[in-house]
Amino acid sequence: MTSGRRPKPQNQALAALLDGQGMSRKGLAYRVNLLAAEAGLRTAYKHTSVARWLAGETPRDPVPTYIAAALSERIGRSVTVEEIGMGASPDGAPSGWGFPRDRCEAIQGVRAHWSGQDRARLADRFAVAGYALPVTRWLAVPADAATAGEGGRRCGREDLKELRESAEQARLWDARFGGGDWRLSSVRQCLRERVIPLLTGTHTEQVGRELFTITAELSRVVAWATFDSGHTGIAQQHFIQALRLARAGGDVERGTYILTTMALHTILEGAPDQALDMAQGAFHRGRRHAAPRVLAFAKLAEARALGRLGDATSASSALSRAEALLEEIQPGTHDPMWISYVTYDRLAADATEIFRDLHNPKAALRWSEQASGMSDEVHTRAVGLRLAVVATAAAQARDLDQALDCGHRALDVLAPVSSARAQDYLRAVTAALAPWAADARVREFAERLDQRLTHAVVKEVT
């Protein structure tokens, strides 16, 4: 006599990932326990637990997310709970990596993503492969058809105005105080509490387009701030959601801008080759839709990627194209305010870093002189980063006095900025000064930097 209970299906997806990476059952269980402990949850999984998962058992939420995170670390790219054959968590919160073709599914995904931010840290590791599907799908179809919304709360012009002001204020806060500044937490709260009800509410086609575009910008700002504060994997998820929102709003120009920012993120994560494809794709997809300043930004990102790759000729060509696009801008023509910070001064600051990366300090220092118009009261972080780059370029030129002068000025400007990225730039100055390590002035700078970094850690903990 046979039992009426149907056997659970084997989890072939999880088995394939484990076998393909040579990860043992014991090793997976051990890593899942560590991730759970980091999140404040006590677990005691063993190799026998993994055997049950392979046999078709799905552990209770949020353990599937820990399993996916453990495999992400092993493989070096993002792995979702869907990919390990365990579906979404019971409350539907996704990992943030999805880019559904269907607009309604995308809206629900964004909604679930922003509602479940407390789980995002489980996948806080950048994986360049995580951008492959979103970028491909956006380049193929950059805009959804406009539709009206029928549901809960009605979204009107006053709502759009408030959200637009929030996005601009957040961008200014990020530029002045850094991504780790406490003020930016209000933007995340805005997305969870104010925006989510509007996305699934009632609105006209036009209001819907504007709503999704503004929300895309809010998500982009949060993404960049999150990256700046050192949480790279979480930032990647926010960028993906921002790009999908731009597509939902039918805004190719905004999508071009967001994809370019994603390319910069990828460059700074050490993958310039992939970033080059992203920047070039953004430019070519947006050239019939985007304003010259947006296209100049894409070319600037392309130049930065080429600089990291050591291609001086192509980097110079892309930089010249960006400069020409800025010169095309005429009064009275379409020129979005939300990208007004991309000026000749910004181009010169980026060129300074490009030629530093190309080990051409003479050109880097010459470009830096042309970036002096940036205000450290408004663009505090950008000015501080440029000074740090100039310090490293001066060290390449064997000019210790200028390197130390710019290094100290960078420390002064960046003092009020909460930014893990700024700390990395300052550490690069110390590394560039290594040939003069015995010099008392260099030791003094290193000690001052150590004090700054210690203060930053204390400030973050408190």
Q: Kindly state the average pLDDT of the residues 178-195.
A: 85
Contact status, residue 286 vs residue 297, Cβ threshold 8 Å: no
Which are the contacts of 185, defined by CB distance < 8 A and separation ≥ 6? none
How is the chain split among helix, strand and coil, in percent rounded to 5?
70, 0, 30
Which secondary structure element, helix H or strand E, spans residue 284, and what is its range? Answer: helix 272-286
Give the amino acid at 273: D
Amino acid letter, 323: E
* Type of residue numbered 81: V
Q: Say whether pLDDT at 175 is over 90.
A: yes
Q: What does the alpha-carbon distance between residue 130 and residue 267 come to, in Å, rounded to a whole number?
A: 14
CA neighbor of 427 nearest in space, from 399, 407, 400? 407
Residue 362: CB atoms within 10 Å: 11
Look at residue 118 in the predicted model and tell me its pLDDT: 45
**CB 249 within 8 Å of CB 209:** yes
Contact criterion met (CB below 8 Å) for 216 and 239 = no
The DSSP line for 171-235 is: HHHHHHH-TT-GGGHHHHHHIIIIIHHHHTSBB-HHHHHHHHHHHHHHHHHHHHHHHHTT-HHHH
- Residue type present at position 112: A
Does position 124 have pLDDT exceeding 80, yes or no? no
Average pLDDT score over residue span 224-248: 94
Question: Inter-axis angle of helices 63-75 and 25-38, to 10 degrees?
Answer: 120
Whether the pLDDT of residue 77 is over 70: the answer is no
Q: Residues 203-222: pLDDT tens digits?
A: 899 999 999 999 999 999 99
| Across 266-271, average pLDDT | 96
For residue 460, name the pLDDT band (cuts at 50, 70, 90): very low
pLDDT (0 to 100) of residue 1: 42
Q: Which residue reads 């880097």 in tokens?
A: 364
Contact 284, 321 (CB under 8 A): no
Which residues make beta-bridge pairs with 203? Answer: 149
88 has pLDDT over 90: no
Give 82-115 as a DSSP string.
Answer: TTTT--S-TT----S----SSHHHHHHHHHHHHH
Peptide bond just before 64 cis, omega within 30 deg: no
Burial string for 37-54 (b: 16+ CB within 10 Å, else e) reads eebeeebebeeebbeebb
Confidence bin at 6 (pLDDT 50/70/90): very low
Comparing 231 with 117, the larger pLDDT belongs to 231
The mean pLDDT of the chain is 88
Average pLDDT over residues 369-389: 93
pLDDT value at residue 96: 72
38 near 95, Cβ under 8 Å? no
Residue 33 contacts residue 49 (beta carbons within 8 Å)? no
For the segment 169-195, the average pLDDT, to the nearest whole number, is 87
Average pLDDT of the residues in 112-135: 72
Query: Residue 215 to residues 197, 208, 414: CA-CA distances in angstroms?
Result: 12, 10, 29
**Reported confidence tier of residue 16, pLDDT bands at 50, 70, 90:** confident
For range 175-195, the mean pLDDT: 86
Considering only 33-37, 182-186, 369-373, which range has the smallest mean pLDDT?
A: 182-186
Q: For position 91, what pLDDT does the model report?
A: 35
pLDDT value at 324 more than 90: yes
CB 251 within 8 A of CB 145: no
Write down the pLDDT at residue 259: 98
Q: Is 374 helix (H, G, I), strand (E, B) or coil?
A: coil
Residue 17: predicted pLDDT: 78
Is the overall model pTM greater than 0.75, yes or no? Answer: yes
Q: Is 167 helix (H, G, I), strand (E, B) or coil?
A: helix
Q: What percent of the chain has pLDDT over 70?
A: 91
CA distance 126 to 316: 29
**85 vs 419 pLDDT, higher one:** 419
Asked if the model's pLDDT at residue 441 lies above 90, the reply is yes
Weakest mean pLDDT among 152-161, 224-233, 297-306: 152-161
Distant-in-sequence contacts of 267-274, Cβ < 8 A, 24+ apart: 267/301, 267/304, 267/305, 267/308, 268/227, 268/421, 269/126, 269/128, 269/232, 271/128, 272/304, 272/305, 272/306, 272/308, 272/309, 273/305, 273/309, 274/128, 274/131
- State percent of the chain over pLDDT 90: 60
